[in-house]
């Protein structure tokens, strides 16, 4: 047991947990005001639903010994997850740290189905998704499964988190169909400052995500930290230049998106590449995601908040570039294409394709299954009214005018018409 490692992992875990509320702000700002709460709730509810599922069975399936494809049920209800060492930190802390990853991964998917998915169906879907998609894929990469054994590099979750969520988002957007106003009316972000706030907080939390994935207060954590610092900076600059070339104006929503794309791309590479490689990786990753966003908006695919372009494509580009920029002199174990090991790129590609296939097919089956029990979409009139009122009975920006207080006492002692007449006030 190492106390410095434990101290850093305590902080890192809290940082990653903050990313889910940050995502709520990032997504919440991008939707229309009538759907702001619902969109933010889709992230916030993941803190509850996925956290509970993780403790009950998710952790065991992901990190139980099991075989090359799935963990086992030996850690169900956190059985045997105690104060003993896991690496150099308490096992129970390791479980918590990994739980925060499951929570944000599920929440990421919501960006593709905002403004139309029934909230109950969403809760059921993410609960099942963490058990049947996230946990096995996590096991393949980090829990001793076949992708990890094959030597694929995924420092903090390029495949497990971002490609996984991105592909699930693509499938979810296709299964649910587009919003009724999509491509008919302009649907604009209602609060761009929220989106910038969310992007900033995501970056802050991501230091825990990437540098925490060193699982200790080590030099590798410092390297991952520097990569997390530099990569989005490269992305932001390239993105702003692309914006300037295309429209003559650098946009705020674009810059917020660039931060996320840079963070996504560096995630698999963080502890494997040198700092200048991280900067280059972030800069390169801006290009495919930028053009994917522009292209997507012209299609019928209503991936409303561009989860596929930012996370799916950004994650895939990052995972491939990890195989290009990995450098033994920094990570002490493996080189990439640029440093004389072209084979690594092939291994990365296999890991990416496996994640795409598994997540894509699995998510499709789960959504169809959930759809058998609960309708996935709200009624068209509810969609028009807005999800905040129809799903939550609340408004993000309620005007109190005309609101009539309902007092429970008054209902209990409601006078009958006869009594009211006797009182002389009928």
Partner 1 sequence: MKLVVAIIRPEQLGSVLEELYKAEVSGLTISRVQGHGGERDHVETYRGTTVKMGLSEKVRIDIGVSNHFVEPTVTAILRGARTGDVGDGKIFVLPVEKVYRIRTGEEDQSAVTPVQLAGAG
Q: How far is the CB of 35 from partner 1 (least distance, A)?
A: 11
Helix axes 314-325, 164-176, angle to 10 degrees: 160
Residue nearer to partner 1 on the CB measure, 34 or 139? 34
* Cβ nearer to partner 1, comparing 38 with 86: 38
Q: How far is the CB of 186 from partner 1 (least distance, A)?
A: 8
Nearer to partner 1, 143 or 386 (CB): 386
Q: State in angstroms the smallest separation of the CB of 385 from partner 1.
A: 7
Of 72 and 181, the one with the shorter C-beta distance to partner 1 is 181
Q: How far is the CB of 117 from partner 1 (least distance, A)?
A: 18
CA 149 to chain centre: 25
Window 240-279: residues binding partner 1 (CB under 8 A): none
Beta bridge partners of 109: none
Closest to 25 measured CA to CA, from 192, 165, 239, 206: 192
Size of the site for partner 1 (CB under 8 A): 21
What separation in angstroms does the CA of 238 have from each of 33, 195, 253, 396, 424? 31, 19, 14, 35, 77
Window contacting partner 1 (CB under 8 A); options: 1-9, 64-72, 180-188, 347-355: 180-188
Contact with partner 1 (CB under 8 A) among 6, 10, 56, 181: 181
Q: How far is CA 313 from the centre of its chain?
A: 14
Q: Which is nearer to partner 1, 393 or 417 (CB)?
A: 393
Q: Which of residues 293-332 bind partner 1 (CB under 8 A)?
A: none
Q: Is 424 left (phi over 0), alpha (psi -120 to 50) or beta?
A: left
Other C-beta atoms closer than 10 Å to the C-beta of 71 total 24
CB of 293 to partner 1, least distance (A): 23
The site string for partner 1 over 114-133 (x = CB under 8 A, - otherwise) reads --------------------
**What does residue 7 show for φ and ψ, rounded to 5 degrees?**
-60, -45
- Please state whether 64 falls in left (phi above 0), alpha (psi between -120 and 50) or beta: beta
Which residues from 349-408 bind partner 1, rule CB under 8 A? 381, 384-386, 389, 393-395, 398-399, 401-406, 408
Of 186 and 372, the one with the shorter C-beta distance to partner 1 is 186
Task: State how far the Cα of 178 lies from the Cα of 206, in Å rounded to an integer.
Answer: 31
Cα separation, 343 vs 329, whole angstroms: 18
413 binds partner 1 (CB under 8 A): no
- Smallest CA-to-CA distance from 160 within 28, 388, 355 is with 355
* Span from 45-53, 74-82, 179-187, 413-421 in contact with partner 1 (CB under 8 A): 179-187
Task: Please say which residue, 401 or 424, places its beta carbon nearer to partner 1.
Answer: 401
User: In sequence order, what are the residues at sequence separation of 6 or more whose Cβ sits closer than 8 angstroms to the Cβ of residue 323?
Assistant: 153, 336, 337, 344, 345, 346, 347, 348, 349
Classify residue 340 as left (phi > 0), alpha (psi -120 to 50) or beta: left
Closest CB to partner 1 among residues 91, 377: 377
Catalog residues that contact partner 1 under the rule CB under 8 A. 181, 184-186, 381, 384-386, 389, 393-395, 398-399, 401-406, 408
């Amino acid at each position: 047991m190492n106390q410095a490692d434990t101290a850093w992992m305590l902080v890192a875990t809290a940082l990653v947990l903050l990313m889910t509320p940050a995502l709520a702000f990032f997504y919440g700002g991008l939707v229309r005001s009538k759907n702001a709460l619902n969109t933010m709730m889709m992230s916030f509810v993941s803190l509850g639903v996925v956290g509970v599922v993780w403790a009950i069975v998710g952790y065991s399936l992901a990190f139980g010994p099991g075989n090359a494809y799935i963990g086992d049920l030996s850690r169900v209800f956190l059985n045997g997850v105690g104060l003993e060492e896991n690496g150099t930190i308490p096992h129970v802390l390791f479980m918590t740290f990994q739980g925060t990853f499951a929570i944000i991964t599920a929440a990421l998917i919501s960006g593709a189905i905002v403004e139309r998915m029934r909230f109950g169906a969403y809760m059921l879907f993410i609960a099942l998704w963490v058990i049947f998609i996230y946990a096995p894929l996590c096991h393949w990469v980090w829990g001793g499964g076949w992708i990890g054994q094959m030597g694929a590099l995924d420092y903090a979750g390029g495949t497990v988190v971002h490609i996984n969520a991105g592909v699930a988002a693509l499938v979810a957007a296709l299964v649910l169909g587009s919003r009724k106003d999509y491509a008919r009316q302009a649907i604009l972000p209602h609060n761009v400052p929220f989106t910038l706030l969310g992007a900033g907080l995501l970056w802050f939390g991501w230091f825990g995500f990437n540098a925490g994935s060193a699982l200790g207060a080590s030099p590798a954590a410092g390297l991952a930290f520097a990569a997390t610092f530099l990569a989005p900076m490269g992305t932001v600059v390239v993105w702003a230049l692309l914006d300037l070339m295309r429209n003559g104006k650098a946009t705020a929503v674009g810059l917020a998106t660039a931060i996320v794309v840079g963070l996504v791309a560096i995630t698999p590479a963080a502890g494997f590449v040198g700092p200048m490689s991280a900067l280059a990786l972030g800069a390169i990753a801006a290009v495919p995601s930028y053009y994917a966003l522009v292209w997507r908006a012209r299609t019928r695919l209503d991936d409303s908040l561009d989860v596929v372009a930012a996370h799916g494509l950004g994650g895939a580009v990052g995972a491939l570039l990890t195989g290009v920029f990995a450098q033994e002199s920094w990570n002490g174990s493996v080189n990439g294409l640029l440093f004389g090991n072209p084979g690594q790129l092939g291994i990365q590609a296999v890991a990416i394709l496996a994640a795409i296939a598994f997540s894509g097919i699995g998510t499709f089956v789960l959504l169809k299954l959930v759809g058998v029990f609960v309708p996935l979409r709200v009624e068209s009139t509810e969609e028009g009214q807005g999800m905040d009122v129809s799903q939550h009975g609340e408004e993000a920006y309620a005007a109190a005018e005309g609101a009539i207080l309902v007092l429970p006492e008054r209902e209990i002692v409601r006078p009958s018409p006869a009594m009211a007449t006797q009182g002389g006030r009928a």
